[in-house]
Amino acid sequence: MPVIRYVLMFLVGAACFYLLNGIIISAVGTIRIKEGYRRLFSGGVKFRYFLTAVTGGIAALASALWQETLPAAVTLFALLALMLLVTVVDIDTMEIPNGFAAAIFVVALVSCLTMPGTSLIARVIGFFCVSVPLLLLTLLIPGAFGGGDIKLMAACGFFLGWKLNLIALAIGIFTGGIWGIWLLATKKKERKEHFAFGPFLCVGVVCAWFLGERLLDWYWGFLIL
C-alpha cells in the first residue's frame, strides 16, 4: 500500500538523519566521530535531534517523489543530508569543513550517472560560474565570503548545473540579506560583524533544485510580458 511505503520511507529517512547528529557533534566539538556518536547515544533524545530526524523523513519523501528512479532518489537524499550538515555546523562554528564540500562533490560526481538530465558542460560551468566570482569578490573585499562558502558553491554547482546554481546564489543572497537586515535592526550584530552565510546558500541550493525550473519559467514569462 502506498501509505505504508511512504511511512517506511519517512522512518528510514528520519533514522538516517538522526544518525547525522553524531557527525555534527564531532565536527562542532572537533572530536573523533566515534566520540561524537558516544555522546549522541548517551545524551538522551534532545529536541534538536528530534527535529533533525523529522527533517530527514521529509527529505526522504521529497527525494522519492521528485525522482523517478531509486538511484536518483538516494543521490538527492545524500545531497539533502549534506546540506543539513553544512547548515548546522556552520551555524555552530562559523566554518564549513572541507570534508563536507568534498563529500558534496563526490555526490555530484555520482549524480552524473544517476541523474544524467544535467549535461556535463552545464555542470562544469556550474562549478565555476558562482565560485569564481565569489573568490574574486573575496580577494577584493577580504572577508566578503568564507572559503567554505566558495567551495560549497563550486561543489553544488557541479550537481545543479549553471542555471540552477545561479538561482541558488540569488536565493541565498536574498534570504541572507533579509536575515542580516533583521540582525542589524534588532542590534544583535554590528555592521562589520559576520554571520554564518552557508545555511542561506544551502537553502538556495535546495530551493533551486525543487523550484528552480518553475522560477526560471516565471522569470522568462515575466520578461516577455
Helix axes 120-129, 147-160, angle to 10 degrees: 160
- Cβ atoms 38, 47 nearer than 8 A: no
Cα 206 from Cα 101, distance rounded (Å): 15
Which residues lie below 8 Å from residue 145, measured CB to CB, with a gap of 6+? 134, 135, 137, 138, 197
Q: Which pTM was predicted?
A: 0.93
Distance separating the N- and C-terminal Cα atoms of the chain: 46
Confidence of residue 191 (pLDDT cuts 50, 70, 90): low
Residues 6+ apart with CB under 8 A from 188: none
Query: Which residue carries 544518525 as its cell?
Result: 19
Average pLDDT for 114-142 = 95
Read off the pLDDT of residues 200-217 as tens digits, 9 standing for 90 and up: 999 999 999 999 888 877
